Amino acid sequence: MDTVFNAAIATSSGLYACLLIYVQIKRRQLRVGRIWLSAILVFAALIDLILVPQFSPYDQLFTRGFGLSALIISTLAVYGYVVLTDISAEGDRLPRLWLVASAIWLIGFVASEFTTSMTDVGEGDWVILAIKSPTAPAWILLVGFVLCSLILLVTAFWAFFRASLPETANRVLFWMVNCFTMLLASLLLISGTTILVLLGVVTLLVACAGAIYGSVSYQVFDIRNATNRAIRTTLLVGLTALIVFVALYITNRLNFPHNAESNVLLAAIAIAVGSIYVPARKLVEMLINPIFRANFTDAGFVTRQFSQQISQSVELEKLVTTVISTLNKTMKVRKSGLLMVIDTGEGKVEVQPMQGSFPELNNIKRVLYKKSPLYQQFATAQAPVSQFEMEFNPKYQEMLEIERDFFQSLHTSAYAPIIVEGELTGILACGSKLNDSPFYPHDLALLATLANQTGVALRNAHLVADLRKLNDDTALLNSGLASANQQMGKLDAVKTDFVTIASHELRTPLAQMRGYTDIMDALNGQGMLDIDKTSGMIDNMRKATERMEELISAMLDVSQLDVNAMDLRFAQTTIETVVRMAVEPLTDAIKQRKLTLSARGLKGLPVIEADLQRLVQAFRNVVVNAIKFTPDKGRIEVTASLHTPETHNEPPAIMVAITDTGVGISPENIDLIFQKFFRGYDPGLHSTGTYKFMGAGPGLGLTIAKGVIEGHGGKIWAESLGHDEENFLGSTFYILLPLKSPETVRRVAMEKAQ
């Protein structure tokens, strides 16, 4: 037994040396410092060395039990630090507190050795003797071991409970198993029984190898899957053993003689056993496979069903909803979504959840730099990646914090790039699974296939959307062309009407002038021309001339507005002055028509910068328009008030409203009344007279008013309930004038106030 024991010690020591060399080689891949792992291996090798009798003479200062205990405490201290560092959150102080507590445990144990004598650890029945005759070192060792075990296992269980990813939970589960192995090795080593100590040596080696494996590998083997496979295999082996045992038992009980007939009978029994075994195995597999293979996904079925579902959706919004719901169902995951990738052309791309994906993050954009290893994985390698790899694989350690935080905020487990015509256009996010199992390589490969199908569907949806938009734009253009043609027709009619009206307007004063000229000539020839008759005819001729001048002046003003050539001379004035000067020349016409004109709110308003002459002209044209289209005994109201700006960029202004009780304006003409030559009624009903109801006019007054108001940086518009020559719905013209003219208006000079 000693030979076997010594051989086992020598073999384990050699393996520790190999592991130590392996740690030095893999030092860049270690998740903790190589010093800590090296310390575990050195302490474990010393434990093996102290177990060899020739290296532990009893006549030295310290006994073998003391040395073994001190080394086990030191090993557990360093091992616990490695485990807690791996499973704790970044910045957690628990690993450091563990080292402090372990140091106190070791110091207390060593100090107690100098004050009392303890039962030799490693000798037979030492635990029973320590309980019967308690000593400080023994109790410090045992109580410390119990506390150490509780802290490690409870901390690992808590980390497993709060793990956000199945892969992270599996890693914690691996450390739980490894912790149990290390603690079991410690108990076996101090058991005092040779065979148990030998098992402890092997178990300690396994625990140390597991610690090295967990520190080097960011993704350990699946503990739950391996356990399921082991249970499944055990059940099948048990079934096979049971059937074989029954067959052998029956054969043994029959006690067949050694002849040809017995061999035939044995063959028949073998065939019967085989016939029973095959259906029995299938029955057992049918019962246990749904339990132990619950995370298995039929790739063919999933791909076919996914393709059928998304092929039925051609609208983008519906497609996104279909992709999410189908992916959740086929992949058996809790949530999924689509992320659009928009190339900004600045060495980075924008990643934005599509409508319906991750509602809590809708309209939130995050950047992904093209030099990022994650972008290279998606765009260059065109390969999927899991969230666990993103967080723990050293390949992605160069990711920026903003990139890592965004993908963590999605709370998903796997991502696959959506490639369309060789370009990364989106990302398909998926997870976590309903059964909390991790995403295996075949799951990621399946997700990549589904992402390719999604890319085709998205391209088709975009094509359909573009086609519909093109159709809508074409229809809108056709509608616009029809409306433009209709307005062009109206404008053509307006121009034709203008020619008729203008010819009428010009011929009337010309006819008057020619008639009076002929009369004066005839009277002069007969010697009947006197001063009174001459004065009256000259006055009528002057009025005709003024009418022609007004018409020609209006045409010239409109021509200046067409080329933006109207010069304005600004000076400070008031709205009260403008309205008074605009209305005074119209007093006689208002009295003749028996109209009522009132003005309110004009006094007390701030001064404005304006071209007084032009602004008076604009207001007069608007009031004249109200006089023309208001029946006799109607009412015209002029109100003014200080306008409160709606935005910070809008300058302070004065609002003037001119309201009449006239015929009103048709909704289709509300924007046309400010255009040149437009008349809101049949020009065939045209009558001579500037201020008569529905009287004459070339249709230039409101056009000039609009040009002048806008030349001052203001606005003019009209509102009306409609056109009705019987009920007289009326209309209101609004004029908004800024207190200070903007710098962009055309001006000659800024005159001083008189």
Report the run of H or E that residue 655 belongs to, with start and end.
strand 653-660
Taking a C-beta distance cutoff of 8 angstroms, is the pair 333, 434 a contact?
A: yes
Residue type at 59?
D
Q: Which CATH number fits domain 2-221: 1.10.357, 1.20.1070, 1.10.3470, 1.10.287?
A: 1.20.1070
Task: Look at residue 353 and tell me whether its pLDDT is greater than 80.
Answer: yes
| Residue 637 pLDDT class (50, 70, 90 cuts) | very high
d(CA 225, CA 720): 79
Q: 3-state DSSP call for residue 169?
A: helix
Alpha helices in 563-678 (DSSP H): 575-583, 587-592, 612-628
Beta strands in 278-365 (DSSP E): 336-343, 348-353
d(CA 100, CA 98): 5
d(CA 553, CA 90): 85
Q: 3-state DSSP call for residue 85?
A: helix
Taking a C-beta distance cutoff of 8 angstroms, is the pair 453, 486 a contact?
A: no
d(CA 379, CA 701): 66
Residue type at 119?
T
Which of the two residues, 215 and 518, has the higher pLDDT score? 215
Look at strands 635-643 and 608-610 and give their pairing: unpaired
**Mean pLDDT of the 97-118 span:** 83
495-522: pLDDT as tens digits: 655 555 565 666 666 766 777 677 777 7
Which of the two residues, 186 and 459, has the higher pLDDT score? 186
Predicted local confidence at residue 346, as pLDDT? 79
Report the run of H or E that residue 656 belongs to, with start and end.
strand 653-660
Task: Look at residue 116 and tell me whether its pLDDT is greater than 70.
Answer: no
Task: Look at residue 290 and tell me whether its pLDDT is greater than 60.
Answer: yes
Alpha helices in 217-343 (DSSP H): 223-254, 260-292, 299-310, 316-330
Taking a C-beta distance cutoff of 8 angstroms, is the pair 361, 354 a contact?
A: no
29-33, 61-65, 412-416, 730-734: range with lowest mean pLDDT: 61-65
Token pair 């749904």: residue: 290
234-238, 402-406, 497-501: range with lowest mean pLDDT: 497-501
DSSP string for residues in 544-558: HHHHHHHHHHHHHHH
Q: 3-state DSSP call for residue 418?
A: strand
Predicted local confidence at residue 732, as pLDDT? 94
Which of the two residues, 749 and 153, has the higher pLDDT score? 153
User: Looking at the domain 563-750, which fold is it?
Assistant: Heat Shock Protein 90 (3.30.565)
| Residue 550 pLDDT class (50, 70, 90 cuts) | low
d(CA 384, CA 451): 9
Share of the chain above pLDDT 70, in %: 82
Predicted local confidence at residue 58, as pLDDT? 43
Token pair for 416:
């696959």
Range picked from 63-72, 468-477, 631-640 for highest mean pLDDT: 631-640
Predicted local confidence at residue 130, as pLDDT? 64
| Residue 487 pLDDT class (50, 70, 90 cuts) | low
The set of residues, in sequence order, having a beta carbon less than 8 Å from that of 687 and lying 6+ positions away, is 694, 695, 696
| Residue 279 pLDDT class (50, 70, 90 cuts) | confident
Predicted local confidence at residue 753, as pLDDT? 41
DSSP string for residues in 458-509: HHHHHHHHHHHHHHHHHHHHHHHHHHHHHHHHHHHHHHHHHHHHHHHHHHHH
| Residue 640 pLDDT class (50, 70, 90 cuts) | very high
Taking a C-beta distance cutoff of 8 angstroms, is the pair 239, 281 a contact?
A: yes
d(CA 228, CA 170): 14
| Residue 178 pLDDT class (50, 70, 90 cuts) | very high
Token pair 């004029």: residue: 735
Token pair for 56:
């532990």
Q: Which CATH number fits domain 299-462: 2.130.10.10, 3.30.450.40, 3.40.50.1240, 3.30.70.270?
A: 3.30.450.40
The set of residues, in sequence order, having a beta carbon less than 8 Å from that of 529 and lying 6+ positions away, is 520, 523
Range picked from 278-282, 399-403, 481-485, 574-578 for highest mean pLDDT: 574-578
Task: Look at residue 752 and tell me whether its pLDDT is greater than 50.
Answer: no
Task: Look at residue 688 and tell me whether its pLDDT is greater than 60.
Answer: no
Look at strands 414-420 and 423-430 and give their pairing: antiparallel
121-162: pLDDT as tens digits: 656 666 666 666 667 777 888 889 999 999 999 999 998 888
**Mean pLDDT of the 734-749 span:** 74
Token pair for 499:
């020619």
Q: 3-state DSSP call for residue 633?
A: coil
d(CA 735, CA 711): 13
16-20, 122-126, 470-474, 721-725: range with lowest mean pLDDT: 122-126
26-70: pLDDT as tens digits: 888 887 878 999 999 999 999 888 877 655 444 444 567 778 888
| Residue 286 pLDDT class (50, 70, 90 cuts) | confident
Which of the two residues, 420 and 480, has the higher pLDDT score? 420
Task: Look at residue 433 and tell me whether its pLDDT is greater than 70.
Answer: yes
Predicted local confidence at residue 563, as pLDDT? 43
Predicted local confidence at residue 558, as pLDDT? 60
61-102: pLDDT as tens digits: 456 777 888 899 999 999 999 999 988 877 788 899 999 999
**Mean pLDDT of the 298-323 span:** 77
d(CA 748, CA 609): 13
**Mean pLDDT of the 361-368 span:** 74
Which of the two residues, 558 and 66, has the higher pLDDT score? 66
d(CA 123, CA 53): 12
Predicted local confidence at residue 686, as pLDDT? 47
Task: Look at residue 709 and tell me whether its pLDDT is greater than 60.
Answer: yes
Predicted local confidence at residue 76, as pLDDT? 93
60-69, 235-244, 276-285, 559-568: range with lowest mean pLDDT: 559-568
Predicted local confidence at residue 203, as pLDDT? 93
d(CA 192, CA 689): 131
Which of the two residues, 177 and 229, has the higher pLDDT score? 177
Q: How many helices (H) and strands (E) does the chain have?
A: 21, 14
165-174, 204-213, 510-519, 617-626: range with lowest mean pLDDT: 510-519
Task: Look at residue 282 and tell me whether its pLDDT is greater than 70.
Answer: yes
Q: Is the peptide bond before 432 cis (omega within 30 degrees of 0)?
A: yes
Q: 3-state DSSP call for residue 83?
A: helix
Residue type at 414?
A
Look at strands 749-750 and 569-573 and give their pairing: parallel
Predicted local confidence at residue 677, as pLDDT? 67
Taking a C-beta distance cutoff of 8 angstroms, is the pair 568, 745 a contact?
A: yes
Predicted local confidence at residue 674, as pLDDT? 81
HEC readout, 138-152: HHHHHHHHHHHHHHH
**Mean pLDDT of the 270-279 span:** 84
Predicted local confidence at residue 392, as pLDDT? 84
d(CA 78, CA 260): 69
The set of residues, in sequence order, having a beta carbon less than 8 Å from that of 447 and lying 6+ positions away, is 331, 384, 414, 416, 428, 430, 439
